[in-house]
Amino acid sequence: MTATSTPSQKVVIITGASQGFGAAFVDAYRGLNYAVVANSRSITPSADPGVATVAGDIAEPTTADRIVATAVERFGRVDTLINNAGVFVSKPFTEYTLADYELVTAVNLNGFFYITQRVIARMLAQGEGGHVVNVTTTLVEQANSMVPAGLAALTKGGLAAVTRSLAIEYAHSGIRVNAISPGIIATPMHADDDTEALAAMHPLGRMGSVADIVEAVRYLEAASFVTGEILHIDGGQSAGH
């Protein structure tokens, strides 16, 4: 299939793109006139010619191959990668099962590794820089006894660390690598929870919104002198109580 983007149009790959943050990122980047390659296990084709969808498990290297190939075949390039796909399992540490461990590490770590390695290689080949944004969590730095999250700390903490490492490794190539670190965000996942209690966990006294997350990513996309940054969108949680 021949490339369908305009010569000046940038291209973003977004994982976990069928709902929540990911779906909002698709809309946000289309609003910035990016062509989008959107991935999730259950994603369906889009009527928008500027959005190519690739269904598949991001934890499989063949899925990463198909995503990058689709970006190049449909739109001719890759400029930004949003590593949004992730899973969260909250249990006391000693109650995690081997299946829990394999699921969380497969999506949060393997899923990051396969697609990011391929995208950075493509950016280097293009020779025009690029941008990678990882999604971590404030629980990495601000553990909470009410939310046991050992596997989130293990995997998302790794993403926070590798954000800085890759930012330095590829700065000379003009490839920026940043991360966002959300607090508790009002999404359908929390619809049945005690939202007042969740809001009170943030010094600003409210839960975050998907719009807050989108604005943070839009900022990082435009901030050409920012790399290696872990941007907290958490109402002050990471600063203290």
Supply the angle between the helices 210-222 and 20-31 in degrees, to the nearest 10.
50
Q: How confident is the model at residue 1 (pLDDT cuts 50, 70, 90)?
A: very low
Residue 196 CB-density burial (10 A; 0-12 exposed, 13-18 middle, 19+ buried) = exposed
Supply the angle between the helices 111-126 and 61-75 in degrees, to the nearest 10.
30
Sequence-distant (≥ 6) Cβ neighbours of residue 10 within 8 angstroms:
32, 33, 34, 35, 77, 79, 80
Distances (CA, A) of 59 to 64, 102, 196: 8, 10, 35
For range 209-238, the mean pLDDT: 96
pTM confidence score: 0.94
- In Å, the largest CA–CA distance within the chain is 54
Supply the angle between the helices 150-169 and 111-126 in degrees, to the nearest 10.
10
State whether the Cα torsion 14-18-21-25 is positive or negative: positive
Tens digit of pLDDT for each residue in 20-50?
999 999 999 999 999 999 999 999 999 999 9
Characterise 179 by phi-psi region: left (phi > 0), alpha (psi -120 to 50), beta (else): beta
- CATH code: domain 11-239 is 3.40.50.720
More confident residue, 184 or 129: 129
pLDDT higher than 80, residue 241: no
pLDDT at residue 44, as a whole number: 96
Tell me the pLDDT of the chain averaged across its residues. Answer: 93
Domain boundaries, the chain: 11-239
Q: How confident is the model at residue 3 (pLDDT cuts 50, 70, 90)?
A: low
Q: Which two tokens stand for residue 102?
A: 């394999």
